[in-house]
Amino acid sequence: MQRDAEVAEPGIGGSGRAGLLLENGLFRLDFARRVTLAMLEDVPFDRWCLQPVADANHAMWITGHLAAIDDFFLVNVGGRTSALPAGWTALFATGSKPVADLDAYPAPEVLMQQLAARREDLKSWFRSLGEEELLSPLPAGMRFAANLAELMPSVAWHEAWHGGQLSLVRKALGLAPKLG
């Protein structure tokens, strides 16, 4: 895993509260993603559908789900058109259920490409926002954060939640811990 100081982007957001929130949010998104990628790097692709307990999320579903969540915010908050391949919402959206069949999912390489692309798109969108936009509230009904700037740590927290699930997959496979 890269060290935090090597990936920090000082001065991204300018001055003021919005700039600090942007810089912190982007850092949190990057940190969460580095941990996720570290958790996945040595899980054999043929074991990506291992569910350590009944109905648990597996690496395949988690990877697609994280890409789908980034896309969800780009579409529903950012006003963008979904960039996910057809059928991904049914497979990976909140409320979908993982199945233990590798053939039911896209290839892991495709999942990893989407995971990277959606995160880069999300970060680019956040960077494009001005101070007033960053401090504006989320659309009605979205309770993830007080404003757009504070949404970034919420997305990172969500990813960390699934990182805990990946640690169970790793344990079930007999792989060494990545943290601690």
Cα(168)–Cα(56) distance, integer angstroms: 10
Q: Answer yes or no: is pLDDT of 30 > 80.
A: yes
Q: What is the mean pLDDT of residues 12-27?
A: 81
Residues 6+ apart with CB under 8 A from 28: 152, 153, 156
Q: Token pair 């490409």 is at which residue?
A: 113
Q: Answer yes or no: is pLDDT of 15 > 80.
A: no
Strand, coil or helix: 51 = coil
Cα Rg of the chain, angstroms: 17
Mean pLDDT score of the chain: 91
Confidence of residue 180 (pLDDT cuts 50, 70, 90): low
- Domains parsed from the chain with CATH numbers: 13-172 (1.20.120.450)
pLDDT given at position 16:
80
Q: What is the mean pLDDT of residues 107-118?
A: 96
Enter the pTM of the model: 0.90
Length of the chain: 180
